[in-house]
Structure 1
């Protein structure tokens, strides 16, 4: 007789998230037993409508200056710099005993006038080289069209060749002063460190001055656009507006998204991949915002007309045949993701960073151990998805595109 396995509920490990303020900086500290630590330094400034490409150029210059500056401490880990959502993210993963050296680096960046002219030309050449290949990839084209036509997101994008090459070291210096000499900063730290020791070390940070963020705006309507490229498959992006994360029971939207696309047995993969064999690549995700968000679906498909019809039909029938098993399975997948987000210092930092840049809050699942959703809430959300109007952008061969799609030019980084 085969013994019945013991089934135990998945329990989310508790996360001790401490939040305090030093010199105007928001400090978010999560103690975790590990020889490594992770730090995310978020410097806020500028605006979504800042001049195109300037933030990207500034942070490229920052990276080079950090590598060339012999006055800065040597760190065993790697520093990565990313610009997005009105924040410059300086990410560091390294040894716990290097916290003081990292803080000295941040203090140096915020307290010294850099010789930007020494790296400007090299940065311009690097970015120009990258721009030449930007529009060779369908996914980049979809993102560029979506960003340019349907959002106000200019912050942190590489820009166009003509725009980038108009900037001078004076432009860069003014931008640097705005961001680093008057920082509005948040430090997210995870590692085997003591709160008292951290608080003592953080006193070297320069004074931080809070700045307000602009709201992301999306201009989504039921429209269909097509960019012609000689490709074997058609790449598509679909988007529809949904409420923001501050909406009560927003977790129901996450569950609904998981039901639509999760794993191989999600509603859309089941119809599109398993039953029809039209794709190996499909994902649905939410661009989360405080007041409004966007539910997005991306895929690369063969026989686009047939695939597009299957996707639309599946979306329109999303509220049908929805069982408690579907909901439980989606909740389980989401809980597994939450557990995985607690495994390493880097995962914890990344998760906190993502939530903080949205609405300056701690991820609710770090303080609330379980998600409780009434089944009727998920049914209601699936009903809203069934009746939603979707924007669709497709890139591929014209012979596969329905006549309802409006042809637009391929975006170019060179003008």
Structure 2
């Protein structure tokens, strides 16, 4: 299997990967835009726009959008992240043109009907309220906010109800016109697809994207603070963040490996120390959250309020110890977890298309599996010691939800 990539005169990139042993295609349109491209006064507009594109176009009603794709047994969906927005479909290979036509219609011809918009705003406001009532969900928004404050990367993807309520159809159309432009877009397809035919369809249906991209991406700087919410509950939900790196940084693979060995599975340091040996929590994890130019190493734990002090000490011990003591066995295990996870994901057509699109938007090319494996294998214990030493020299950003007494304990957490 090889990937074919063509850049059209508009700057739109079209990529396809032929997979001979399947009868379907996974295809999507990825835009290099997300929450970090918003201003505070429009926070949530990227996510609202994603919802509204399925609510009717000048050619199709919302019902017709659903019926046309489901009439052929396919499905569509979309997602918004901090730095990407994607619209995608899965269909039988003979229905590829229909899927491309449908996605192009959503993206270029949505009408933003006023009645549909008001109804969808209420849906999203309910989604926001549900998230706020779910501590093990909203804690991650608080962690981002604690790390970046009022900067775009500190804002919620869902937005704020009072901001969402004021967004108009004209606002959505203007935002799409600025950010949904050809040079910031990749159309990627994996499955039983012919690249030449795909190009003909893309040229036929995607002719309205602007060839101009002049919206700069605002930088975000790590500015740690504490966001602690007093809430009477049986669990204290705790998260901390430390400055990591962006996806383009050569140290990205070292940070990814470290997040895995620290809290990426049941054999990880935190799972073993926090849950298995001491019984301090049911849930504990570490993860890397990054965009192209910056990132965070995050830790999440849900624990009994009375165990916060003990838990904080274990976290401190493990973070400090891993700055100077990484065993070869745990490093090798984390590498294998990353490599296996990557290879397993790439057995799925959608994952292959998504991987292609994300690489083109980040690196301008698709990194081969062999290259990725080499980058992972080249990470040494000294690399881990170096990046962890750098991280723990910074002040952590803390987020917490739980009884007042437990929050007072958590706010005193320090690494030095």
**Range class of TM-score, shorter chain:** 0.7 to 0.9
Q: CA deviation digits over 1:346-399, x for unaligned, max 9?
A: 222233344455455434536545333244323433443554532221111123
- Conservation of the 8 A alpha-carbon contact between 1:305 and 1:402: no
1:85 aligns with 2:91: no
Aligned to 1:412: none
Instruction: Give the counterpart of 1:94 among 91, 95, 101.
Output: 91
Partner SS state of residue 119, structure 1? helix
Instruction: Give the counterpart of 1:36 among 9, 14, 24.
Output: 24
1:214 aligns with 2:214: no
**In 2, distance between residues paired with 1:44 and 1:329?**
33
**In 1, distance between residues paired with 2:371 and 2:131?**
40
Aligned to 1:274: 276
Structure 2 length-normalised TM: 0.83
**In 1, distance between residues paired with 2:48 and 2:24?**
30
Deviation of residue 41 (structure 1)? 0.5
Q: Residues 307-346 of structure 1 correspond to what in structure 2 (within 5 A)? A: 307-346=311-350
Structure 1 pair 368/17, CA: closer, same or farther in 2 (3 Å)? farther
Which structure 2 segments of 5+ residues have no match? none
Aligned to 1:243: 245
**In 2, distance between residues paired with 1:177 and 1:55?**
12
Partner SS state of residue 17, structure 2? strand
Structure 1 pair 149/390, CA: closer, same or farther in 2 (3 Å)? closer
- Conservation of the 8 A alpha-carbon contact between 2:32 and 2:84: yes
**In 1, distance between residues paired with 2:180 and 2:292?**
26
Coordinate RMSD, CA, aligned = 3.0
Aligned to 1:74: 68
Deviation of residue 160 (structure 1)? 2.4
Aligned to 2:157: 157
Aligned to 1:139: 136
The answer to which of 117-126 and 381-390 deviates more is: 381-390
Higher relative contact order (CA 8 A, sep 6+): 1
- Conservation of the 8 A alpha-carbon contact between 1:110 and 1:181: no
- Conservation of the 8 A alpha-carbon contact between 1:117 and 1:169: yes
Aligned to 1:372: 377
- Conservation of the 8 A alpha-carbon contact between 1:289 and 1:358: no
The count of residues paired between Structure 1 and Structure 2 equals: 391
**In 1, distance between residues paired with 2:121 and 2:86?**
21
**In 1, distance between residues paired with 2:190 and 2:397?**
40
Which structure 1 segments of 5+ residues have no match? 1-14, 407-415
Aligned to 1:12: none
Aligned to 1:9: none
1:64 aligns with 2:63: no
Structure 1 length-normalised TM: 0.83
- Conservation of the 8 A alpha-carbon contact between 1:40 and 1:187: yes
Q: CA deviation digits over 1:205-250, x for unaligned, max 9?
A: 21542525515514233x4442111221111111111233333343
**In 2, distance between residues paired with 1:181 and 1:330?**
39
**In 1, distance between residues paired with 2:254 and 2:268?**
16
- Conservation of the 8 A alpha-carbon contact between 1:256 and 1:378: yes
Structure 1 pair 361/284, CA: closer, same or farther in 2 (3 Å)? farther
